[in-house]
Structure 1
Amino acid sequence: MGRRPLLILCLLVAVSLGAGVATADPVSATASPSSGDSPPTANDSFPVTLTDATGTAVTVDSRPERITTTNPSAAQTMWTLGAADQVVGVTQYASYLDGAEQRDNVSAAGLGVSIERVVATEPDLVLAPNATSRETVATLRDANLTVYHFPAATDFEAVAAKTQTTGRLTGNTAAAAETNAWMWQNVAATESQTADAARQRVLYPLLGGFAVGNNTFIDEIITTAGGENVAASEFDGYRQLNDETVIALDPEVLIVTDQTEGQILGSTPYSQTAAGQNNRTATLSVQYLNQPAPRSVVYSTSNLSAQLHPDSAADVSTTTEDGDPATGVSAPGFGIGVAVAALVAIVASARLRERP
């Protein structure tokens, strides 16, 4: 058994046995795993000091009641933890979250955030994902704000670590543990459904000729959903692909989002690939696909899986509040029986991947 299955086992056992984790009524993956209030628990002692991506030891003296997020992935995580009531500031790209319009918009006129707007929210804590520059973080700190800067989340384990850190900093450790168990359980369910399916060659092209390569959480979304990211063999991260390389990679399926739909399939060089010639696309929501956070992992993997392998995924998919298919596995509060069933799926999929 690999490192991820072992991690999932620990999470499932902890949650199913109630080891310091608050439980909720079972709900499907269509709902957030912690939809109600998440008060402090015995694990939420303060002050807490954690070292962030800048190497700074960040101390939060007491449970923060005013939190500002500088990137939508941080806001999505807070909403998923059931802690939206602690958030006072969000960026414009978090507007899809229920009630986000009631928070202060801290986006700058162009890209990034407005220092003045962030300061004006009078936050106890600023959660700054890696998309926020270190220069911005330093400027916010110069304004006497407490800022935690997250490292890049390049895979699902990094998303889980980010969720755990967010829970600890904000006094929502129980909700974070539930959320991670919910995420891993749904990932295992998706993997088990596509374990025997043939891998289709997939490319996620961005505007300007860029594409998504290896060592990204989106690459893991593609592989978990039963696809093969053809750009993963070319580079890590996000880079441009020239026309000749796109044609040579010859993807069978192109991922499009509400931002790129209508601008990819019929344009060169994509129109000259198998996907273009066969009119094969998978449409995903950009607000989930491009944001490394728990809902993004669950919704995007299940949605993509349902489109790549409709016969395999049909019996486990349902519809989220956003209209996206999502697995029907229970969210936090699932109990020992479902936990054991999920563990069986995890171990089975791990063994399938380890076969020569």
Structure 2
Amino acid sequence: MSPLDRIAADLDELTAIRRDLHAHPELGFEETRTAGIVADKLAGWGIEVHRGVGRTGVVGILKGRGLSDRRIGLRADMDALPIEEATNLPHRSTVPGKMHACGHDGHTTMLLGAAKYLSQTRDFDGTAVFIFQPAEEGLGGARAMLADRLFERFPCDEVYGLHNQPNGPYGRLAVRRGPAMAAADFFDIRIVGRGAHAAQPNRGVDPVVVQAALVQALQSIVSRNTDPVHSAVVSITQVHAGAAYNVIPEEAHLAGTIRTFDDGVRAMVGERMRETCAGIAKAFGAEVHVEIRDIFSVLRNSEVQAQAALDVATELFGADKVDADPEPKMGSEDFADMLLAVPGAYAWLGQKSGAALHNAAYDFDDSIIPLGAAYLARLVERRSAAGL
């Protein structure tokens, strides 16, 4: 029996796990309930469990029947988002202001499905390493696990990750060789002017005017400073200033994100942002303080492991359900940092059409659980073979 058929037989059980996780979302580094469920399931299937890796992460270790010393890592993320759910599903979030709007409940469940199957069959050489990561949503969960010596304590020769893709096509797995997802920096810009009565703007330095000038000027970094053949995005996502109708405030604040694929472009955008802020500050007689934080690295899939992922997907789903050349994504993913430490590949699995990721109406498509779980399990069976 193929892993797809065998895992499909457990779909009701796995769906129940996924919907329970969905109903009880936890934000990054708060995944104590989720981690407890994961650890208990793994232990119940006879898998060696390590808790508290990178604060709330869980790692499971399972040895196969063969004598190979190869170790294959599989990773899923567990955290939810600070979003008020807008669905009316029976399994909707029970926690106000929190929901699984990115499908991490489904990713966790797919990895649990792969772990259960592998624990029952043990039809592989070497060792499977199941990595359940906290805090993927911009809080540095991968870096926390790496700082906790993840790959020193649990060595892996290769590591693989998987994400759902709500715009489909249904059941198609996409893997891009090389740079596949963008790096991301988050920035905060604090503008300090001089407060005054709104009827006497000449007595102050209006930080809102400076703020407006910066919103416009920063967009020229992409349109006029970035080589057109390279991708870059500068998005201002927060604008804050003032608290009264008749007061020019003392300070204003801008925040947002920078997305790039190239280290040189990334450095240039940061430098031009600081230069632009300094120039506008001087022009208006204000102070402008810039903080830019490295949040995500560029996600780069290794050639060999990307091909291995494509081969496994072709075997399981058929060549017509595999995309070997998807467009790179300007979105970011902190699995990138694990790929800097260990070669591997990150894939996208299409599900039925519906609300987009990070949308309050989003819900994971449970019917793809066996597809993702079988793909992850088969990677272990194929890639753990001696002599690779």
> Which TM-score band (shorter chain)?
under 0.3
TM-score (norm 2): 0.23
Q: Report 1 or 2 for greater relative contact order, CA contacts < 8 Å, sequence distance ≥ 6.
A: 2
TM-score (norm 1): 0.25
Structure label with greater radius of gyration: 2
Structure with the largest fraction of helix = 1
